Amino acid sequence: MTSSYLEGVSNELSAFGYNRDGKRGKRQIVIGLLCDSSGRPLTIEVFPGNTQDPQTLASQIKKTARRFGGREVTFVGDRGMIKSQQVKDLQSEGFHYITAITKPQIESLLAAGVFEMCLFDQDLAEVETDEGVRYVLRRNPLRAQEVQACREDKLSALRRKVEERNHYLTEHPRARVDVALRQVRQQGETLRISKWAKISVAGRVLCLEVDEQALAEVGQLDGCYVLKTDLAQEAASKETVHARYKDLSMVEWAFRTSKTVQLEIRPIHVRLATRTRGHAFVVMLAYRIVAELAARWGDIDLTVDEGIGELTTLCATEVLIEGKPRCNKIPRPRGSVGRLLKAAKVRLPDVLPCSGVRVATRRKLPENRISR
């Protein structure tokens, strides 16, 4: 019986930092993040920028099995993370997996008769093969609408391109029609709609036609996705498999928070690989604080960023005795700050010792030097 789930995502970062020669430049790193089923980071690892996502999973498997002593663990990863080799690595350690398959793989399984299109009409369908592999099928209607809207936007963009070229051909009698045709077709290839959006020529006029049959075939799998797992039904129902895969959104949120919002892991102002790993580790610990604050401030109508901004208004009063600083008096927090501290279960002391040492950030250091 599987007792725990680990969710992992690899994400590439473009980080401006310093090379070994001391020159500032752009370098790529890949960060692998391993979380538990509730989205809390357990471990973070840094890889060179040319490392493919599936290659980052092998070290996570070894780490879980040998360093952490994990048993009966299920790894959850997206369709680019867990592939055939990674499945073998997991099974060799007695682990299980939950992942998604690609659209070409779905089409192959449909052609092979493993499952049928009618199963996508159900809320949540399941198919199990003789090899013990289970497929969980679902169609997301909202995602299907988004894909269709995106396809219509691309068609509108191509139609505008056709109108633009036709207008140019009308105003320039010497303009070559084949050049305009090639430009429009290249636009269709770029937009990836050339399979069903056909461009033809009638005299000196470009015509855009939609192949409805080809369009129906392309849109057949809109919003459809298939999950794949080797877990037995006794260990996890199809609802559990689906829920665990959807929990990957929490790992993605951890990456977004670490890369952009409060933490901003970029740029990396270190040269050595050990310091780069240390920087990523500190950011992971900081994210755990951000996630904890988000959970504790859930009932307060403030984001974590806004809450931290409120806390910066809390100041201490320096107490001088015979002209020398002795302690810092902490005033009673005002309403909004008091609610944030109470929700975070933080109790401030009345007094803090003061050594008289001034601490300045790199930004404020020049100002302090000038004032002195």
- Domain positions in the chain are 4-139+223-289, 142-219, 309-371
C-alpha to C-alpha distance for 194 and 180, rounded to whole angstroms? 16
What residues are paired with 11 via a beta bridge? 31
C-alpha to C-alpha distance for 115 and 288, rounded to whole angstroms? 42
122 DSSP assignment: S
> Quick one: pLDDT at residue 96?
92
Q: What number does CATH give the domain 4-139+223-289?
A: 3.90.350.10
> Quick one: pLDDT at residue 55?
82
Parallel, antiparallel, or unpaired for β 317-321 and 324-329? Answer: antiparallel
Work out the percent of the chain whose per-residue pLDDT is above 70.
87
Helix (H) or strand (E) holding 252: helix 248-259
Parallel, antiparallel, or unpaired for β 41-48 and 24-35? Answer: antiparallel
C-alpha to C-alpha distance for 293 and 289, rounded to whole angstroms? 6
123 DSSP assignment: S
The label of the residue with tokens 């977004």 reads 256
Rounded to 5°, the CA angle 291-345-265 comes to 25
Claim: this prediction has a pTM higher than 0.85: no
Give Cβ neighbours of residue 30 (< 8 Å, ≥ 6 apart): 10, 11, 12, 13, 46, 47, 48, 49, 51, 53, 56
> Quick one: pLDDT at residue 42?
85
> Quick one: pLDDT at residue 17?
44
> Quick one: pLDDT at residue 1?
38
C-alpha to C-alpha distance for 310 and 342, rounded to whole angstroms? 14
For residues 79 and 103, the answer to whether their CB atoms sit within 8 Å is no
Helix (H/G/I), strand (E/B), else coil: 136: strand
Residues of the chain with confidence (pLDDT) below 50: 1-3, 14-24
Other CB atoms within a 10 A radius of the CB of residue 3 amount to 10
pLDDT digits (tens, 9 = 90+) for 83-118: 889 999 998 988 999 999 999 999 999 999 999 999
C-alpha to C-alpha distance for 346 and 65, rounded to whole angstroms? 37
- What single-letter amino acid sits at 256? R
For residues 4 and 18, the answer to whether their CB atoms sit within 8 Å is no
C-alpha to C-alpha distance for 95 and 66, rounded to whole angstroms? 13
